[in-house]
Amino acid sequence: SQTIHQWPATLVQPVGSPLSLECTVEGTSNPNLYWYRQAAGRGLQLLFYSVGIGQISSEVPQNLSASRPQDRQFILSSKKLLLSDSGFYLCAWIVGAGLYTGELFFGEGSRLTVL
């Protein structure tokens, strides 16, 4: 079966510290992968997406970066966190015939609090 996992589930970090969130999928190959951020229980903001190894597209310029070192691994990073980076980070992958009719499956989410 196809599954998606992300960790850590909860993270409290001081301003200026680095960040690494990891997401892995199982049961599929060459998936489209996505990082979204959700602030204060509201809508999802698309941060990055990847259609293959080493291929990263950024939707929002900021101090975050993403990497895809392996086919089923997607990592979100920052060298120096800002207070505004706090939020609920969600990794997702597309299932189905394609983006227009397929389904986004989300991981469990990682809640980041920057103090």
Partner 1 sequence: TQLLEQSPQFLSIQEGENLTVYCNSSSVFSSLQWYRQEPGEGPVLLVTVVTGGEVKKLKRLTFQFGDARKDSSLHITAAQPGDTGLYLCAGAVTGYALNFGKGTSLLVTP
Residues of this chain that bind partner 1 (CB under 8 A): 32, 34, 36, 41-46, 49, 51, 57, 59, 90, 92, 98-101, 103-109, 111
* Residue 51 or 115 with smaller CB distance to partner 1: 51
Helix (H, G, I), strand (E, B) or coil at 54: coil
Q: How far is the CB of 47 from partner 1 (least distance, A)?
A: 10
Task: Output 48 or 81, the one with its CB closest to partner 1.
Answer: 48
Structure tokens at 81: 């966190």
Query: What is the nearest approach in angstroms of partner 1 to the Cβ of residue 32?
Result: 6
In the complex, what is the shortest distance from the CB of residue 108 to partner 1, in angstroms, rounded to a whole number? 7
Task: Tell me whether strands 110-114 and 10-13 are parallel, antiparallel or unpaired.
Answer: parallel
Distance, in Å, from the CA atom of 37 to the CA atom of 90, rounded to the nearest integer, reads: 6
As measured in angstroms, the least distance from the Cβ of 33 to partner 1 is: 10
The residue (of 57 and 84) whose beta carbon lies closer to partner 1 is 57
CB 67 within 8 A of CB 78: no
Q: By three-state DSSP, how is residue 16 classified?
A: coil
Give the tokens for residue 13: 């970090």
